[in-house]
Amino acid sequence: MRIVREPQKIQKLVSKLPRPVVLVPTLGALHEGHLALIRRARKRARTKGTVVASVFVNPTQFGPEEDLARYPRPFDRDSALLRQEGCDVLFAPEAQDMYYPDRSITLIENKLSQVMCGAARPGHFDGVCLVVSKLFNLVQPDVAVFGEKDFQQLAILRRMVRDLNFPVELDAHPTVREPDGLAMSSRNGYLTQEERSQAPIIYETFLLAEQKVRAGTASATKLLNWMKQKIQSAPLAKIDYVTVVDPMTLEPVSQLRPPLLLAAAVFFGKTRLIDNRMVQ
C-alpha cells in the first residue's frame, strides 16, 4: 500500500492508476464499518482496479463547539488495517495542505442540509461537500463508497454529484452494526459502560416502529410521539431529533406510506449518536 500525503502528489499519481479507481473517504479512527466499505471498494475495483482510501480529519465540517481537537487519530493502526483489507493507496493529507490560509471558495447546500443533523450543525454539510468535492477532483474516482449510517450526508452528496455533474458513481453500503444493534461509529468509544448499555434503544425503537408502520399505524404524529417516548425510556438518552422523512427529499411525511426513513440523533452524555432505518 502506498501512502501519499501531499495533494499535488496524489493528483499526479491518479493519472497512472489502473482503472476503475474506487475511493473510500474517511475521518480515520477506523472500525469494522469502515473496513466493510473498503471490502466493498475492493470488490468494485476488481483485481485490476485501484482502491484509494483517504484519512483526513476535515476541519471545515466541525463546528466551534464540536470535538475536532479530541477526535482520535490512530494513524499507524488505521494504515495497518487498510493494508490488511487490500487498500492500494492511502491519501492522508494535513489540513494546511488541503486548505490555503486565504481560501475564499466554499460550497453551500441550502435544501437537504437544513433539516435533521443540519438543523443542529449549521455549516457541517457545506464542509462535507467542500472536502468531498476536493477529494473527487484530486483522486478522480470512478466510484466512491459511503455508508448509509450517515444517510443525510449520502443524500446531500448524491445531490452534489447530480447538480455539479461529477462523473462519479456513489455506492451506498448498509449500516454495519454491533451484535446488539448499535450502529458502529468512532464516537461509540466515548460512551461510558452505562451509556453504551442503553444506546441500542435507538435501533430497537426503529425495529418496533417499522412493525407499527407495517401494521397500519395511520398517524405520523402518533408514531413520532411513541418513538420519542420509547427512546426516552432509556434514562441517559437525550433526544436531539426523531423524525420520519421522505428518503429522497428528507422532508417530514404526514402519511406513513413506504418508502420512509426513520431517523434519530440522540445524546448519551456528551456523545451524539445518529442512526436510521429505511422502511421499504
Mention every residue, 6+ apart, whose C-beta is less than 8 A from residue 209. 223, 226, 227, 230, 262, 277
User: Contact at 8 Å (CB) between 37 and 24?
Assistant: yes
The residue extents of the domains of the chain are 2-173, 186-275
Secondary structure percentages of the chain, helix, strand, coil, to 5: 40, 20, 40
Query: With bands split at pLDDT 50, 70 and 90, how would you rate the model's confidence at 4?
Result: very high
| More confident: 242 or 66 | 242
Q: pLDDT at position 65, please?
A: 80
**pLDDT tens digits, one per residue of 172-197:** 999 999 999 999 999 999 999 999 99
Q: pLDDT at position 66, please?
A: 85
Q: At residue 273, does pLDDT exceed 90?
A: yes
* Residue 124 is among the residues annotated as catalytic for this protein: no
What's the mean pLDDT in 203-224?
94
Alpha-helical runs (H) found in the chain: 7-14, 32-45, 75-84, 95-98, 117-120, 124-139, 151-164, 193-198, 201-214, 220-232
Out of 31, 34, 124, 173, the active site residue is 34
**pLDDT tens digits, one per residue of 81-112:** 999 999 999 999 999 999 999 999 999 999 99
- 2-173, CATH topology level: Rossmann fold (3.40.50)
Q: Which helix (H) or strand (E) holds 2?
A: strand 2-4
**pLDDT tens digits, one per residue of 18-59:** 999 999 999 999 999 999 999 999 999 999 999 999 999 999
Tell me yes or no: is domain 186-275 CATH 1.10.10.10. no
Please tell me the total number of residues recorded for the chain in this structure: 280
